[in-house]
Chains A and B, each alone.
Chain A
Amino acid sequence: MKLVFNETEYIADKIINKDSKIVGYDSLENELFAFKGISDTSQFKLYDDEGNEKQFVKVQTEGERIASIEDTLLALMMMGV
């Protein structure tokens, strides 16, 4: 994958967008680069190996995951399940 920011290309096997951070890893999970404290992700463009622009898949934080599970449980309870 390729990340383009500020006219510079950053290559990584995996690029994660999480908690205002974008981090690139190699195949062994070593951190290759990190952008932290991002307030405007529109400056970052993500491309796959074929050069097609991709959307960031935002990784949920722990709090976001708990809230999501709670919402699902509540919905199930209201459905009488």
Chain B
Amino acid sequence: MAFTKYVYTPTDGFKNTSSFPNPTTGAVNRAQRQALHDQTRDAVHDLIDEMAAVTDGDSGGDNIGMTPIPALGSASTSQSQMEAMVALFSFPWATTASLTYYVDVASGSDSNNGLTVGTPFKTIGKAISLLPPRIDHTVVINVAVGDYSGEGVLTVSGYTGKGSITINGDTVVSTSYSILRLNKNRNGIPVTLRGFNFTTSTNVSVVANQCITSIVNLCNFVVSNSNQAISSVGSTLTVSNSTISNHSVAIDADTSTVYSNTNSGTGNTIGLRSSSASTIGKNGTQPGATTAEVQQTGGVIR
């Protein structure tokens, strides 16, 4: 296989200067472009053939005396590299339509496709793992009743786009749709969690870190915990219609904008804490605490 080296110059463009003199007419110009295209195509095809021969372990005449292709390494390595490339370009990078997954810890299987009530996943994590990083449509994960605490911390991280992600559990403040805890991290789209009972006693239940429009609705945080129930750092967060009890801080805002709307609960040490220039706007009832509100380091609650 022979490669032709092309040279780009501002005056002559991208071409082999020895093979392609300056065009004198439009027809010559088009012919040169076609020739350039054909040569490029043939070169790429030759390269693919050679890579296939090497990765297939072909020991026939094609490979005799052939200079090894640099950086390809052994046939097995090349094969794995090519498979990795295929996998890379096969994984969807963005949603192309709205998407709904179903999860049921009792009857589901992570070998299912998760696309119908009858073929649910077993874990919420499986559904999350299939989401592409760019969400341009509405994504809903419908979770059936059950205890999902065994999955450990759930992470919704790094999603961007024009769409949204909603994880639906119960339709009331839940005691029977249980998860351990949730981390939302650096999401540029709305991520809603609705109708879950949090079971952790040793960590923050919900962390929203650098997230846009994070929503917690109809959630239950009543397991005694010396940490915050909900911690927002550098995020915009809405917490509504939820019950928060027995935590050191029910809703904690740091460099955030938080809306606490009609939440309840008892036995917290601090109800709302606004720090580092955060704003917590409140409406309706708020989680009960021995100290209802703390404003510090430029934070306000209003």
Residues of chain A whose beta carbon lies under 8 Å from any beta carbon of chain B: 5-6, 10, 31-40, 43
Among B248, B289, B296, contact of A37 (Cβ-Cβ < 8 Å): B289
Among B248, B291, B297, contact of A35 (Cβ-Cβ < 8 Å): B291
Among A5, A6, A37, contact of B293 (Cβ-Cβ < 8 Å): A37
Q: Is the CB of B67 closer than 8 A to any CB of chain A?
A: no
Which residues on the A side are within 8 Å of B271 (C-beta)?
37
Which residues on the A side are within 8 Å of B53 (C-beta)?
none
A31 to B299, CA, bound (A): 11
A6 to B290, CA, bound (A): 11
| Contact A38–B248 (Cβ < 8 Å) | no
A40 to B267, CA, bound (A): 12
Residues 269-302 of chain B, each 1 if its beta carbon lies under 8 Å from chain A, else 0: 1110000000000000000011111111100010
| Contact B295–A37 (Cβ < 8 Å) | no
Question: Does more than half of chain B's interface fall in helix, strand or loop, or is it mixed?
Answer: strand
Q: How many A-B residue pairs have CB under 8 A?
A: 39
| Contact B292–A37 (Cβ < 8 Å) | yes
Instruction: Return 15 A-B CB contacts under 8 Å, by A number.
Output: A6-B248, A6-B269, A6-B270, A32-B296, A33-B294, A33-B295, A33-B296, A33-B297, A34-B293, A35-B291, A36-B294, A37-B289, A38-B292, A43-B290, A43-B291
| Contact B294–A40 (Cβ < 8 Å) | no
A81 to B295, CA, bound (A): 49
A35 to B296, CA, bound (A): 9
Which residues on the A side are within 8 Å of B293 (C-beta)?
34-37
Chain A nearest CB from B53 CB (Å) reads 69
Among A31, A35, A39, contact of B294 (Cβ-Cβ < 8 Å): A35
| Contact B291–A38 (Cβ < 8 Å) | yes
Which residues on the B side are within 8 Å of A5 (C-beta)?
291
Chain B nearest CB from A1 CB (Å) reads 15
The chain A residue sitting closest to B299, CB to CB, is A33
